[in-house]
Chain A
């Protein structure tokens, strides 16, 4: 008997990485997307996303991967994952119309006995309400992290599987597929699995919010959050992988979507979710940290200031700008001239009346009054601060993610601002904000 074929419908970030991992684990996969242009790009080896190790993984396993724009090609699959993006609006609410249409297309062409697994992020209740035979319908939690998607897909911590009947064994093909990844498999009812996904993200947001809240306090009382966080990670109740790095609020869309989902369900059910509302507001507050710092240090006294922005993507190692703090900042800087650079995202992604796209970091720094490092790309860590300071007209460097060594920046004659610590001034002025 030949090895079953696994299908993936929807060549999203999630779909491509999941299919690549399945192929990497030795399975033959069929990658379907209704958009012929996307399929043509994938066939030619041009990936629409940036993810470390992805192109190599696909190249190594190309004999096991078929790309197609024809849904009929999924008929030979024993199992098909629905992996399309579920877009969100500005409030984080999901538009489920696309995924419903995709499920209908795929389900109508499934082979006899084949099972369907929803991998996309859907709200609780979605899977059970699908008009499909429940013994062949499953939901699986995805925990993709942009920038680490291949690693996460190849070496998952566990599989959380939503089922109609969690006490019944999983279909053989499904169990065999998941087992090759060598991690625990946790079957549970559909709604539990759908809420488990949201619960994971709420826990992450809680950690980030604690870090952001106490980082702000650190900035104002002379503490340094970077000294505190390692101590917390050694606490067994918190753990070494806890999300304790302060940042510019939530970005990327997925965490925001889950918070919006919880708020919507709370509205429907009367649950008390004040803490979730606080997460949302804290995120919005911290997102504007750079804007407030720029105004206080530069813009309030220099109406003709030029600002250099390094990084446009919402985080490093991705092309995504969804809810990017950098673009949010730029939207509030319309009266000032900007110079921008990102290793992956083109300057054309920026909506601003006076922006110059630069090809190098030093080109950005030429003649600017302030430099802000809005995405912690590794390439920015190699910046020579002396060269940076020489190129700049002003003395302000805002580095929320601590890409650079603050003391080195100050030694180069610049004032240094980062999250979680008081400003460092080249002139030796008071350290407190």
Chain B
């Protein structure tokens, strides 16, 4: 749950976005700038978190009135070297934060930090990741939280979709690309597994709200509606006039059949914010990707 330190929403003085060159970071940057918030976007070309002297460089850039959004990651982290690389990137930020005062830190984490059998998942679900990716985010949360005296918000989005998503993972992003090429949309088995999918614009909007309220704590960035891959495939196939085909699954079925979230804390934290329904989000993505 989040605590709002700003009683009234107030524009941050400046938001430093570490990882602004990425899919999520770039969307957050555009959102903040559209809201009239001053930003300092840092992509890898501006600040390579794995480079020597990166901490010193970041420290020099920071001001006491800055809010920071840390979204940079090599994701998904599937191997031990990737895990260590991500922790090294976080360490760079932690070293810089240890020496400077800032106003607020927002870390874009992941719902992968939660134990697999949490159902429905809430912010009080046990953080006991079973994947390297989840462990990476859980560790980075702890590292960042312990490196600054500023209020820290951990945002834990679930599966993110959007026009410029680079990962092409199984779900809306891959389905859309298949359909856009005129191919059949391929689902595994019956595609019955239900997951929550959040539009990247909503992740950016929540981030902006958290910055305005100078919120501290944890919040899941999830819609609260879980949809089967089969249903998503059908929606996208209809959008593009193609068919859905079932393929034999490569390897075992996911151990987690469905994942549900309870978004009551979000309703309380930001009562006038409501997530984009999946069908509407998929249509927006289709139009944006034309």
Contact = CB atoms under 8 A, between A and B. Distances in A.
Interface string A282-326: 000100100110010001100100000000000000000000000
A83 to B, nearest CB: 37
A288 B274 contact: no
B75 interface: no
B267 A295 contact: yes
Interface residues of B, number: 8
A285 B121 CA distance: 12
Interface string B230-270: 00000000000000000000000000000000101001100
Contact of B268 (A281, A299, A300, A332): A332
Contact of A285 (B262, B267, B272): B262
A332 B268 CA distance: 6
Contacts of B267: 288, 291-292, 295, 332
A71 interface: no
Contacts of A300: 274
A269 to B, nearest CB: 23
A351 to B, nearest CB: 15
Contacts, number: 25
Contact of B271 (A281, A285, A288, A335): A335
Interface string B151-187: 0000000000000000000000000000000000000
A291 B267 CA distance: 8
Interface in A320-339: 332-335
B109 to A, nearest CB: 22
Contacts of A335: 271-272
B124 interface: yes
B1 to A, nearest CB: 11
Contacts of A303: 272
A140 to B, nearest CB: 38
B257 to A, nearest CB: 16
A277 to B, nearest CB: 10
Contacts of A281: 124
A281 B272 CA distance: 25
A256 B52 CA distance: 55
A300 B262 CA distance: 16
Contacts of B272: 303, 335
Nearest to B268: A332
B280 to A, nearest CB: 12
A332 B262 contact: no
Contacts of B271: 295, 299, 332-335
A305 to B, nearest CB: 11
A288 B264 contact: yes
Nearest to B124: A281
A218 B133 CA distance: 36
Contacts of B264: 285, 288, 291-292
B189 to A, nearest CB: 24
A288 B271 CA distance: 13
A300 B264 CA distance: 13
Nearest to B272: A335
Contacts of B262: 285
Interface in B6-64: none
Contacts of B124: 281
Contacts of A334: 271
B99 to A, nearest CB: 38
Contacts of B274: 295, 299-300
A380 to B, nearest CB: 26
A158 to B, nearest CB: 39
Contacts of A299: 271, 274
A286 to B, nearest CB: 11
Interface in A368-386: none
A30 to B, nearest CB: 48
A299 B271 CA distance: 9
Interface string B110-138: 00000000000000100000000000000
A335 B270 CA distance: 10
Nearest to A284: B264
A306 to B, nearest CB: 15
A335 B272 CA distance: 7
Nearest to A288: B264
B225 to A, nearest CB: 10
Contacts of B268: 288, 291, 332
Nearest to A334: B271
A290 to B, nearest CB: 11
Nearest to B267: A295
Nearest to A332: B268
A165 to B, nearest CB: 46
A334 B272 CA distance: 10
A174 B16 CA distance: 73
Nearest to A295: B267
B190 to A, nearest CB: 20
A310 to B, nearest CB: 21
A333 B271 CA distance: 8
Nearest to A301: B274
Interface in A254-284: 281
- Nearest 10 interchain pairs by C-beta: A300-B274, A288-B264, A335-B272, A295-B267, A335-B271, A332-B268, A291-B267, A292-B264, A303-B272, A332-B271
25 contacts: A281-B124, A285-B262, A285-B264, A288-B264, A288-B267, A288-B268, A291-B264, A291-B267, A291-B268, A292-B264, A292-B267, A295-B267, A295-B271, A295-B274, A299-B271, A299-B274, A300-B274, A303-B272, A332-B267, A332-B268, A332-B271, A333-B271, A334-B271, A335-B271, A335-B272
Interface of B: 124, 262, 264, 267-268, 271-272, 274
Given A332-B268, A333-B271, 10 more contacts: A285-B262, A291-B267, A291-B268, A292-B264, A292-B267, A295-B267, A295-B271, A299-B271, A299-B274, A332-B267
